[in-house]
Amino acid sequence: MIFILRFHAEITVKSRSLRQRHSKVLTGNVRTLMKEISPAIKVRNQWDKLSVEVPNESDLCQAALSRLRRIPGISHIEEVAQIAFTDFDTLLAFVLAHREDVLMNRSFAVRVKRKGKHDFSSQELAAYIGGGICARVAGSHVQLKDPQQLVKIWLDQDEASVEIQRYAGLGGYPIPTQETALSLISGGFDSAVATYAMMRRGARTHFCFFNLGGAEAHEAAVKEVSYFLWERFSKSHAVKFVSVDFSEVVNRILIQDQPSLMGVLLKRAMLRASALVAERVKAQAVVTGEALGQVSSQTLSNLKVIDEVTPMLVLRPLIVSDKQDIVNQAHEIGVGQMAAAIPEYCGVISNKPTVKAQRAALLEGEQTLTDELIAKVVHEAQVIDIREVPKVTQETAKISEISSTDALSSASVVLDIRAPEEEERAPLTLNQAKVKHVPFFKLTKQIENYSKDQELVLYCDQGVMSRMQALRLREQGFQNVSVLSAVNS
């Protein structure tokens, strides 16, 4: 089977030298990824297109097509049948052999494109093929405008190709025709879609995760999302996954006396740290999933003061996107279910957050967030090759081992680990047990107040964050831990 790969339209209008560069990079990427499927697959660069010849085996063809549709730089993919061109009648018989079944009782038009010298015109060949189809295929008729079927023929010197089917490609630019970027990945919808956008645009994109709650299961889930995005859209080039333990930074933000600034303080600290990580992985820009006005820290005023902490270029591919559009795209690229299962930690630590943080107040709140602290957490960050991340980690699998319960006793202590504003909107009250509100980001320190044989039941709205934190407590020796499965007032 032969697939013809057509370049993204923006590549075709570039100068000859840039087009050659993009073509060469794309050829290398396709060869690398096809070789993983089968060394028998042949890839040829033909200046205005690439051809991929796959052994005529169903599994190989499907695997090759699936991968080709996810390689940045390809506008669309044409599955074609080829024959040596000798005369009109032979080509007509070839067209009928491959297209007769879809032309029966349908309107159609024939489109011919030629390269080379021939003693006939493209219109003459199209008219002959069209007339032959009408004479031989029941119910078929020519309709040049908006036909039900198109018969596409390419004639290159003495070789003819007939399109069997067309598939949409990913578009964008080949990786790494653009410079390197560092994506701040939380595992949620926004950061996942923003990362995909950069990959599609041709940027080799590393991952940086700030672990705010200290939960290994959360980090494992984010690694799984990152691995999925890389494997699906960026596998031609290895990248790094950087995990930064930000718990001490969060703790220092929590103890300052300006709770409305917490979200902006956290974002500023993240940018300061990510700039150092970007230098470490030789990235030219930091990428976030922020969208204008989506939360309080994403107003223009707050984004302005957030960006002031670093000279590093900050890219926000989703800045004018609607949330539902982001969620829809996450599902379209296959990451939606994973993203939905990961709680959004970032931005939940503010209490009645401001939409217009004042610089002087921020500087006061950052007195304990020293450059030495930021440099220390970045220096201690874990850096791994994305290829070392398994698709399903042991930590993620362990989450399902955490039991749920709705049977509470007077000895039970229910820990409501939701963010303060979530708890304020819908306070948890139970008749059967004590309820303590301990936001997840304070759990590390406050858990010291409980004995390891205490019956602890964790609660959050969706049950995901509570399972992650319950797993973490299990690892610390708290064996009598479960999550609340039902709320009975």
What's the pLDDT band for 412 if we cut at 50, 70, 90?
Answer: confident
pLDDT at position 136: 95
Which residues fall within 8 angstroms of residue 130, CB to CB, at 6 or more apart?
108, 109, 110, 142, 151
What's the pLDDT band for 159 if we cut at 50, 70, 90?
Answer: very high
The answer to whether the peptide bond before residue 427 is cis (omega within 30 degrees of 0) is no
Angstrom CA distances, 480 to 442, 454, 486, stand at: 20, 7, 18
- 15 pLDDT exceeds 90? yes
What's the pLDDT band for 247 if we cut at 50, 70, 90?
Answer: confident
Angstrom CA distances, 53 to 8, 32, 47, 57, 64, stand at: 20, 14, 16, 11, 10
pLDDT at position 403: 74
Average pLDDT over residues 124-150: 95
pLDDT tens for 290-343 read 999 988 889 999 999 999 999 999 999 999 999 999 999 999 999 998 888 776
What's the pLDDT band for 106 if we cut at 50, 70, 90?
Answer: very high
Q: Which residue has the tokens 């103890």?
A: 255
CA end-to-end span of the chain? 64
Tell me where in the chain the CATH 3.40.250.10 domain(s) lie: 400-484
Average pLDDT over residues 180-188: 95
pLDDT at position 489: 39
Here the tokens at position 299 are 């107003």
- 395 pLDDT exceeds 80? no
Which residues fall within 8 angstroms of residue 356, CB to CB, at 6 or more apart?
299, 301, 302
pLDDT at position 397: 52
What's the pLDDT band for 149 if we cut at 50, 70, 90?
Answer: very high
- DSSP letter (8 states) at residue 8: P
Angstrom CA distances, 173 to 23, 201, 202, 369, 479, stand at: 10, 5, 4, 39, 51
Range of weakest confidence among 278-282, 322-326, 394-398: 394-398
Which has more pLDDT, 263 or 410? 263
Range of weakest confidence among 26-30, 383-387, 418-422: 418-422
pLDDT at position 344: 62
Q: Please identify every residue annotated as catalytic.
A: 460
State the alpha helices, DSSP H only, in 38-74. Answer: 58-68
Which has more pLDDT, 25 or 447? 25
- 351 pLDDT exceeds 70? no
pLDDT tens for 359-370 read 999 999 999 999
Tell me where in the chain the CATH 3.40.50.620 domain(s) lie: 178-396
| CATH superfamily membership of 400-484 | Rhodanese-like domain (3.40.250.10)
Which has more pLDDT, 174 or 479? 174
SS3 458: strand
Tell me where in the chain the CATH 3.30.2130.30 domain(s) lie: 2-171
What's the pLDDT band for 488 if we cut at 50, 70, 90?
Answer: very low
Q: What is the mean pLDDT of the chain?
A: 89
pLDDT at position 286: 98
- 184 pLDDT exceeds 70? yes
SS3 189: helix
pLDDT at position 177: 97
Taking CA 435 as the corner, what is the angle to CA 431 and CA 440, rounded to the nearest 5 degrees?
150
pLDDT at position 369: 94
pLDDT at position 390: 67
- 348 pLDDT exceeds 60? no
- Give CATH for domain 178-396: 3.40.50.620
Q: Are 50 and 30 in contact (CB under 8 A)?
A: yes
Among the four given CATH numbers 3.40.30.10, 3.30.2130.30, 3.90.1150.10, 1.10.1660.10, the one describing domain 2-171: 3.30.2130.30
Gap between the Cα atoms of 187 and 338, Å rounded: 8
State the alpha helices, DSSP H only, in 334-386. Answer: 336-340, 359-365, 371-379
Here the tokens at position 105 are 């009782």
Which residues fall within 8 angstroms of residue 388, CB to CB, at 6 or more apart?
none
- 253 pLDDT exceeds 70? yes
Gap between the Cα atoms of 322 and 311, Å rounded: 28
